[in-house]
């Protein structure tokens, strides 16, 4: 149940990227096999192009997401270090 709760949190859908990538890769393999078997060849070429485009867009999105996360981590660590430079850490009980 915690996986579903994690998905419903803001930004939680990023956990589905490996599943989506695997599904599209499976689609691409099936489309190529059907094209080789000469089943609606032109349609399979179009579907293969669309599948490749989807895989590329998912990779681009994941790279952009990681860049944003990395920049947020660097900015928060540098700002927190600067704010804590002259202060004593807060104590929590």
How many CB atoms are closer than 10 A to CB 25? 13
Identify the pLDDT of residue 79: 54
Q: What is the mean pLDDT of residues 50-56?
A: 95
Check whether 39 has a pLDDT greater than 80. Answer: yes
Identify the pLDDT of residue 6: 79
Find the range with the poorest average confidence among 22-26, 29-33, 68-72, 76-80.
Answer: 76-80
Query: b or e along 2-11 (b: 16 or more beta carbons within 10 Å of the residue's beta carbon)?
Result: eeeeeeeeee
Average model confidence (pLDDT) across the chain = 83
pLDDT band, very low/low/confident/very high, at 85 (cuts 50, 70, 90): low
Q: What are phi and psi for residue 38, nearest 5 degrees?
A: 65, 40
Q: What would you report as the CA-atom Rg of the chain, rounded to the nearest whole angstrom?
A: 22
Could you tell me which of 30, 53, 52, 55 has the C-alpha nearest to residue 40? Answer: 30
Check whether 89 has a pLDDT greater than 70. Answer: no
Identify the pLDDT of residue 1: 65
Q: Bigger pLDDT: 76 or 67?
A: 67
């Amino acid at each position: 149940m915690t996986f579903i709760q994690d998905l419903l949190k803001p930004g939680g859908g990023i956990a589905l990227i490996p599943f989506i990538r695997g599904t599209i890769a499976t689609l691409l393999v099936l489309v190529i096999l059907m094209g080789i078997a000469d089943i609606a060849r032109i349609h399979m070429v179009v579907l293969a192009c669309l599948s490749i485009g989807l895989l590329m867009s998912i990779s681009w999105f994941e790279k952009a997401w990681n860049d944003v996360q990395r920049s947020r981590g660097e900015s928060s660590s540098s700002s927190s270090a600067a704010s804590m430079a002259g202060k004593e850490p807060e104590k929590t009980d």
